């Protein structure tokens, strides 16, 4: 049984390493992805002189422009990439945690997710009414 709603935090980090914002696209965080893309674009545009910008849009021209980046621009882009990776990881783990807390239906015996339509845990077969009564008695 697979859960297609779960996102893998390390895949989001790997995608953010390839290009800042790709991890957020994987997480379907569209606004954050556009913000990271815009941050990379604006940083590159501001830190490069007009003579360093490629005049044509080709792979060779982009590679030549990337080789000519000043140290400040390279460090700024590295910092943006690292921050994007950290943000993608944080967003992926937050969405998993929020999903688990939002459901609120976990078995008091085994801790796994429950189906709200049945009155027992389909993982460990604990009857929920008996387990809830035992939990209520132990807290009093």
pLDDT in tens, 57-88: 888 888 887 887 888 889 999 999 999 999 99
Residues 14 and 56 occupy one common structural domain: yes
Residues 98 and 116 occupy one common structural domain: no
Residues 80 and 124 occupy one common structural domain: no
How many percent of the chain have pLDDT more than 90? Answer: 36
In this prediction, residue 3 carries a pLDDT of 47
Contact 113, 48 (CB under 8 A): no
List the beta bridge partners of residue 127: 120
Task: Give the confidence band of 2 by pLDDT, cuts at 50, 70, 90.
Answer: very low
What's the token pair of residue 6?
């779960």
User: Domain tally for the chain?
Assistant: 2
In this prediction, residue 99 carries a pLDDT of 52
* More confident of the two residues 18 and 1: 18
In this prediction, residue 89 carries a pLDDT of 95
Q: What is the mean pLDDT of the chain?
A: 81
* More confident of the two residues 101 and 74: 74
**For the purposes of burial, counting CB atoms within 10 Å of the CB of 91, is it exposed (0-12), middle (13-18) or buried (19 or more)?**
buried
Residues 84 and 18 occupy one common structural domain: yes
Is pLDDT above 80 for 96? Answer: no
| pTM of the entire predicted model | 0.62
Residues 45 and 88 occupy one common structural domain: yes
Is pLDDT above 70 for 134? Answer: no
Q: Which structural domain, as residue segments, surrounds residue 24?
A: 1-103
Residues 90 and 120 occupy one common structural domain: no
């Amino acid at each position: 049984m697979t859960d297609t709603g779960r996102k893998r935090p390390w895949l989001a980090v790997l995608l953010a390493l390839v290009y800042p914002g790709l991890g957020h696209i994987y997480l379907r965080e569209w606004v954050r992805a556009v913000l990271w893309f815009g941050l990379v674009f604006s940083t590159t545009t501001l830190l490069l002189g007009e003579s360093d910008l490629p005049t044509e849009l080709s792979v060779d021209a982009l590679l030549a422009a990337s080789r000519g980046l000043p140290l400040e621009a390279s460090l700024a882009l590295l910092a943006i990439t690292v921050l994007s990776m950290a943000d993608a990881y944080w967003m992926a783990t937050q969405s998993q945690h929020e999903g688990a807390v939002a459901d609120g239906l976990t078995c008091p015996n085994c801790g796994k997710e429950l189906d709200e339509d049945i009155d027992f845990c389909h993982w460990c077969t604990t009857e929920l009414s008996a387990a809830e009564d035992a939990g209520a008695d132990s807290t009093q």
